Amino acid sequence: MPGKIFDTETGTPMGGILLREKRPRNSGRRAFLVVLGLLILATCYRLWAPCKATKEVPRDLQYEMKQALQKPGDQFWWDCRPNVECGRVVVPTDYNDLSVGMTVLAVTRWRSRYWPSKGAVFTNPGGPGISGTKLASGWVASFVGNDYDIIGFDPRGVGETTPTVQCHTPRTKLLFEANTVLQNGFSLPQFNSSRLHSPSTREYFKKQMEEFVALKKAEAELCAKNVGEALRYMGTTYVARDIDFMNRLFHGDDEPINFWSASYGSILGAYLVNMFPGRVGKVVIDGIVNPISWTRDPSHLWARDSLSSIEDTFEWFLSACARAGPAGCALAKPLERSSHAIGNRIDTFLDHLYDNPMSSLSVVRPGVLTSGAVRALFVIWFQNPFGWPSFAHDLAQAMYHNNSTPLYTKLAVNPRPWYTDLSRSAITCADSPPLSSIDPRTNPTVDDLVDEGMATISKVSLHFGVSSTISEPDGGCQFWKYVGGGVERYSGPWNKTLSNKILIVSNTADPVTPIASAKLLHNLLKNSSSLLIQNSPGHTSMSFPSLCTIMLVRAYFDNGTLPAEGTICEPDSKLFPRPGIDEQFRDTLSEEERLLLRSAEELGKIFTKQYM
């Protein structure tokens, strides 16, 4: 059964009724703990700071933990948030050679409200390179049902898991990127075809690419120096093995693996079900990345595939803006119904900015707004349709009011704050094909990279073909010592017959994980999978959620029911809502429905990296 809805933040049931709690525990001690918990919560409410949930090991437990974690399979847990345990689980660094040593995973577990639970659902926050411990939450329980335990963890190289990828110090990453092509993006005159294809443009593009390549090289050298051998054991193959290992450890060898994730998590999901096809339980993946391209192409070639829907996202952005008019979208002009006119103004602005970068006196730090940076901001904000009004406002300030500061501030606050270090590169480069010095695909020259950028502009996206490097900072694997992984690297096949059907979810206009990839994976897995389509822009279904999608995912986790082939869900929100006019529709929803939408939105923030 789907069970009751819980307060998503604390994991306690709404209305304060404790559901059938049947864990075999001492009830007197339990009552004491409940009272203590309430006292602590009440205190926290006043003194917010000391109560911030922490997944770090409390000081007084550190010695005990050290004693407990000696060999693969050892685990250590403590209560760290209401209804959530934090822990450490030891896994072999190399599953084929135990002498290599141990990896200690930081794991969190949201406890099911039922005993026994239906099992555990493993999660992943996308990225890659992002901490997953916050996913053990009532938000995910809203999706998969609170009769499961929900496991979040920091994948290898990330967060509190050790060894971790720490190449920079926290400060040097910011200093390293500031006012370089890593912050400013690639600037090209994209809307004047004769200029775009002129030799002087190519020369300027090449100069920017040389800087990009040199910076990527420096980062790779920094990681080789500061992290070294551990990089050999990063990558998605190992993370899939870690999930399998934990599932056996927690639930025994016969328990199938359940998994729910999105974005890069769809890659991890594709590895998981194809590496362990006989152990597949309930698996839902959303916002699909093409696993063939991921493993066959080096990461600097991914944009060709991953951006195949981004011009559609732009169309949604423009037409919704025109429909809303100036009351909902600051880029629209009164009495103008044409999205075309808005698009033309943006193109003109971008090319003007190419010739005239704007100085910006942001309070964060002063700097320059370039056309490459604005394009990169589009790629980032396209992912989150709820942020479109704010983005349109800041863009209108720059375009119509000669004020670049709000837009520049979006970039300068902290460029790519979601990647505090280079674990994304460690993972993507480990997954990439092995380096061959004679193969220009894996070992490209600057000219090869310029050619690839120009091809992506002309074949995939005129606006955004070379603009994803800030939101999706891939490439440079040719400089990584352990490119292609160390000991083990799964690279398909992707068409295994699975022990249980999985559910694939995709938006129609996802800017970075296109519907074409979802169709491809569905085609590979055939009737081992079902495809559910949500008719919306944004990155993953959760970025602009639909109750229809959420209820179908819940039904699948509940009793295995899959949506009929060809099911299309509509989102439940309006793009560019006009204040005071378009916001009332949620009044008609039940409390439960509102909570489900809110849970999806909170998860959407993680996958669109709005959450810091």
Ligand X SMILES: *[C@@H]1O[C@H](CO)[C@@H](O)[C@H](O)[C@H]1NC(C)=O
- Whole-number minimum distance, CB 417 to ligand X, in Å? 26
- Which residue lies nearer to ligand X by CB, 220 or 411? 411
Binding mask 397-436 for ligand X (x = CB under 6 A): -----x----------------------------------
Half-sphere exposure of 208 (CA within 13 A, CB side): 22
> How far apart are alpha carbons 258 and 273 in whole angstroms?
10
Residue of 591, 552, 589 whose CA lies nearest to 573: 589
- Whole-number minimum distance, CB 216 to ligand X, in Å? 31
Angle made by CA atoms 544, 545, 546, in degrees to the nearest 5:
135
Among 33-41, 212-220, 419-427, 492-500, which window interacts with ligand X (CB under 6 A)? 492-500
Among 33-41, 381-389, 551-559, 579-587, which window interacts with ligand X (CB under 6 A)? 551-559
> How far apart are alpha carbons 15 and 23 in whole angstroms?
21
- Whole-number minimum distance, CB 2 to ligand X, in Å? 4
Chain-centre distance of CA 477, in angstroms?
20
**From 192, 338, 414, 523, residue interacting with ligand X (rule: CB under 6 A):** 192
Asked if residue 2 binds ligand X (CB under 6 A), the reply is yes
- Whole-number minimum distance, CB 347 to ligand X, in Å? 11
How far are the Cα atoms of 82, 157, 429, 488, 523 from residue 275, in angstroms, in the given order? 35, 21, 20, 12, 18
- Which residue lies nearer to ligand X by CB, 452 or 558? 558
Binding mask 449-488 for ligand X (x = CB under 6 A): ----------------------------------------
Q: Are 133 and 107 in contact (CB under 8 A)?
A: yes
- Which residue lies nearer to ligand X by CB, 103 or 295? 295
> How far apart are alpha carbons 600 and 580 in whole angstroms?
24
**From 493, 565, 583, 585, residue interacting with ligand X (rule: CB under 6 A):** 493
Asked if residue 344 binds ligand X (CB under 6 A), the reply is no
- Which residue lies nearer to ligand X by CB, 215 or 555? 555
> How far apart are alpha carbons 403 and 150 in whole angstroms?
46
Residues 6 or more apart whose Cβ sits within 8 Å of residue 65: 57, 76, 88
Among 51-59, 98-106, 152-160, 491-499, which window interacts with ligand X (CB under 6 A)? 491-499
Asked if residue 278 binds ligand X (CB under 6 A), the reply is no
- Which residue lies nearer to ligand X by CB, 434 or 492? 492
**From 368, 555, 562, 589, residue interacting with ligand X (rule: CB under 6 A):** 555
> How far apart are alpha carbons 68 and 80 in whole angstroms?
18
Element (H, E) at 151: strand 149-153
**From 26, 99, 194, 584, residue interacting with ligand X (rule: CB under 6 A):** 194
Residues 6 or more apart whose Cβ sits within 8 Å of residue 42: none
- Which residue lies nearer to ligand X by CB, 544 or 556? 556
- Whole-number minimum distance, CB 357 to ligand X, in Å? 11
**From 463, 554, 577, 597, residue interacting with ligand X (rule: CB under 6 A):** 554
Question: How large is the greatest C-alpha to C-alpha distance in the chain, in angstroms?
Answer: 80
Binding mask 286-315 for ligand X (x = CB under 6 A): ------------------------------
Q: What are phi and psi of 107, to 5 degrees?
A: -130, 145
- Which residue lies nearer to ligand X by CB, 436 or 497? 497
> How far apart are alpha carbons 185 and 528 in whole angstroms?
41
Q: Which tokens in the block code for residue 166?
A: 């720490």
Of residues 526-545, those binding ligand X (CB under 6 A): 527
- Whole-number minimum distance, CB 431 to ligand X, in Å? 17
Binding mask 354-383 for ligand X (x = CB under 6 A): -----x------------------------
Q: Are 231 and 480 in contact (CB under 8 A)?
A: yes
- Whole-number minimum distance, CB 408 to ligand X, in Å? 11
How many residues touch ligand X (CB under 6 A)? 16
Of residues 3-42, those binding ligand X (CB under 6 A): none
Among 20-28, 218-226, 425-433, 553-561, which window interacts with ligand X (CB under 6 A)? 553-561
Radius of gyration of the chain (CA): 24
Among 188-196, 241-249, 460-468, 578-586, which window interacts with ligand X (CB under 6 A)? 188-196
Asked if residue 62 binds ligand X (CB under 6 A), the reply is no
SS3 248: helix
- Whole-number minimum distance, CB 396 to ligand X, in Å? 15
Of residues 558-587, those binding ligand X (CB under 6 A): 558-559, 561
**From 445, 495, 523, 535, residue interacting with ligand X (rule: CB under 6 A):** 495
> How far apart are alpha carbons 386 and 374 in whole angstroms?
18
Q: Are 373 and 183 in contact (CB under 8 A)?
A: yes
Question: Is the link from the previous residue into 128 a cis peptide, with omega within 30 of 0?
Answer: yes
Q: Tokens 């003109």 appear where?
A: 348
- Whole-number minimum distance, CB 359 to ligand X, in Å? 6
- Which residue lies nearer to ligand X by CB, 347 or 582? 347
**From 195, 251, 296, 393, residue interacting with ligand X (rule: CB under 6 A):** 195
The terminus-to-terminus CA distance of the chain in angstroms comes to 34
Q: What is the DSSP string of 402-435?
A: S--HHHHHHHHSSSSTT-SSSHHHHHHHHHSPPP
- Whole-number minimum distance, CB 492 to ligand X, in Å? 6
Chain-centre distance of CA 557, in angstroms?
22
Q: What is the DSSP string of 310-368?
A: HHHHHHHHHHHHHHH-TTT-TT--TT---HHHHHHHHHHHHHHHHHSPEEE--SS--EE
Among 153-161, 187-195, 331-339, 377-385, which window interacts with ligand X (CB under 6 A)? 187-195
Among 30-38, 130-138, 445-453, 555-563, which window interacts with ligand X (CB under 6 A)? 555-563
> How far apart are alpha carbons 62 and 385 in whole angstroms?
43
- Whole-number minimum distance, CB 498 to ligand X, in Å? 8
Residues that bind ligand X (CB under 6 A): 2, 192, 194-195, 198, 359, 402, 492-493, 495, 527, 554-555, 558-559, 561
